Structure 1
């Protein structure tokens, strides 16, 4: 099986060839600027000392300080963290944010930790990565199995060592300690904006669209609710326990209530059950894979029936599958555009922290919409100009900005 980081670089190579860029640009972007591995001792509730392994990768800072989430998961690897940091570099460049890409992670099953153990791990991880973190150096955020409460712990730990409050060191915090209005729905809202703009290009009325969403977490859940609010028909959703389907349509708000009561979409009374694999192959207008990477591969790409795939997750479509989907004229809105709403509003939070001046939720939504709509237009125009996919079009937009910044800074 090909290394995930090597797979991620495929569209970079394609875009570089189209733009006929200096080979030095690709060489610089093919490697992270810095990777850090740390070992984190944590005193457990029973008195044992357990050592956890954590990572932080800073991919490229030509456009500004590194930016990217922290995930706590048993499957975290350095290659995964490097890949996610790589994607963040391009995501920020596509949205024209003054950031480079960063990412972090800790190998841990959070379900096995008590609240106090989790807090000690979060604070200890921040202590270990503190030499490379800072509001003008590298700004983390939540990711898989981390949340706003944990960001508050990490911000507090960093601030203790500095001797004063530093809210801008991390984003995704609760509003009371410097978080931004509109952050919770930001990624899903960005997915909705991109789908809406794609519909305009393809002359598809929102009210005639059907949608299947793989993954009913934060990104998938908000994507489903916001598309539902806009008039689309949600016909299927799923989580790790299975998928539910109703051709007549589902109410994602009612499903959310069911999930709060039962812990899963499974067993929802107004739908039939199916597998996640079957959900991916439904004949819908839009498929939103918002779960894990590598869901659509060369093994199932020829059975995908959606007209549009909007990548709510990072890397849900493999490079081999991309080729198959392009041949079948299925539009793929790439992750570095579709799910960039989260980092966009994280940028807003950072700006608000630096100025100590906070915006209303209405202002946040309006600013996010302006930036996402503009980014979609530029990516679409690049794809049309070079007769390529939206994914390569997004990398072209990002590469033009990154290569210019590196040239002006004298890196090339």
Structure 2
């Protein structure tokens, strides 16, 4: 889930009174309100999960489909054996953890990711009926290692390493859409102590039905993108002095701005390079950045808190980060952050020590030449109460 989705869905985390029989893990979190929220954020930010690719004729879905020709008064369903139902490609994403969030207004419990993916375009799949309805704006992308599921704002909901069979790829290319299932009990993973031989098809069917009975299964028809997705998904924070600039730098993936009209909407201009680094950069407009001890959030200060979020970075939970602390202090002292946004990876990190400096600089130059930049002032957004 993208950070924007996490911000909009933050709620007080409470332990469930009677957890379901776990295939995924229920998080029983006590402690302070902040500790519960931190645990929820940690789970929400984990988009790496198992995935299984199959087709709509899979026994989990009841086997090959049939076209209904009539329903008799006694409820008997008649099918036409000569009117075939097309076989569709399917991708099943299975989060490895389940959370119970209590709505303090109604005292009911929810799984926040399931509720949010449904409110964002997916459709709950109750037992007895499977609906293959579209989720407008969502996309399923092929990557170098598997599949990537993104919402209409570009946020990543699921990322999986999975081998894609040629037959499945051909089916997806033929239909242009893939039926995507999302939920913790889809029969994708093997329970502890089970093997492919001992966890039978009937076991997987029973698990799939249980998830649907509990409201923990959502699905939608999602647009298929067959080209390898090669845009960067990673933020990079660079210290002041990098590229000859006196301000701390936030390199933000360009897709964060796509749904808002692109970086030009906020006055960012193409990066110019000189022998000593970057050329002059303009001041951004209608954009500010909130820098805290754990977060870097770009937002639109003229809009209401509920809709002003643009893009955000959060320090990994539970991991002290001295370089980030230094970056934060310099940003607050400067009163500005140099925002650079692009689609290519910026080389950074300890791994570069063993790489050829000339190769690293060539890759940095390649990324900057296709990027946009502007100076963004520090600001503090209005914060709405979560209760």
TM-score, normalised by the number of residues in structure 2? 0.28
Larger proportion of helix: 1
Larger proportion of strand: 2
Bigger Rg over Cα: 2
